[in-house]
Amino acid sequence: MNEVRKLRRKARVTQAALAQAAGTSQPTIAAYEAGQKSPSLGTLQRLARSVGLEATVAFHPLPTREERRSLVLHRAIAARLEAEPEGVLDRARVTLARMRASQPGAAPLLREWEVLLDRPLEDLLPVLTDPSPRARELRHVTPFAGVLTAAERAAAYQAFAESEKGSV
Instruction: Flag whether 56 is in a domain.
Output: no
What's the pLDDT score for residue 168? Answer: 53
Q: Roughly how many angstroms between the first and final C-alpha of the chain, as a whole number?
A: 22
Residues 102 and 40 grouped into a single domain: no
Residues 106 and 160 grouped into a single domain: yes
Distance of alpha carbon 1 from alpha carbon 58, whole angstroms: 16
Residues 99 and 162 grouped into a single domain: yes
Rounded alpha-carbon distances, angstroms, from residue 20 to 40, 46, 49, 110: 19, 12, 13, 40
Distance of alpha carbon 42 from alpha carbon 56, whole angstroms: 11
Instruction: Flag whether 57 is in a domain.
Output: no
User: Phi and psi (nearest 5°) for 141?
Assistant: -125, 55
Residues 81 and 125 grouped into a single domain: yes
Domain that residue 126 falls in: 65-167
Instruction: Flag whether 14 is in a domain.
Output: yes
Residue 159 CB-density burial (10 A; 0-12 exposed, 13-18 middle, 19+ buried) = middle
Q: What is the DSSP letter of 51?
A: T
Residue 117 CB-density burial (10 A; 0-12 exposed, 13-18 middle, 19+ buried) = middle
Give the global pTM: 0.71
- Which candidate, 70, 56, 62, 68, places its Cα nearest to that of 153? 70
What's the pLDDT score for residue 36? Answer: 92
Residues 77 and 155 grouped into a single domain: yes
Distance of alpha carbon 86 from alpha carbon 83, whole angstroms: 9
Residue 8, domain CATH:
1.10.260.40
Spell out the residues 6+ positions from residue 49 whose beta carbon is closer than 8 angstroms to its own. Answer: 55
Per-residue pLDDT of the chain (168 residues; tens, 9 = 90+): 488 998 998 899 999 999 999 999 999 999 999 889 999 999 999 999 999 999 988 888 999 999 999 999 999 999 999 999 999 999 999 999 999 999 999 999 999 999 999 999 988 998 999 988 999 999 999 999 999 999 999 999 999 999 898 665
Q: What is the domain count for the chain? A: 2
Residues 34 and 72 grouped into a single domain: no
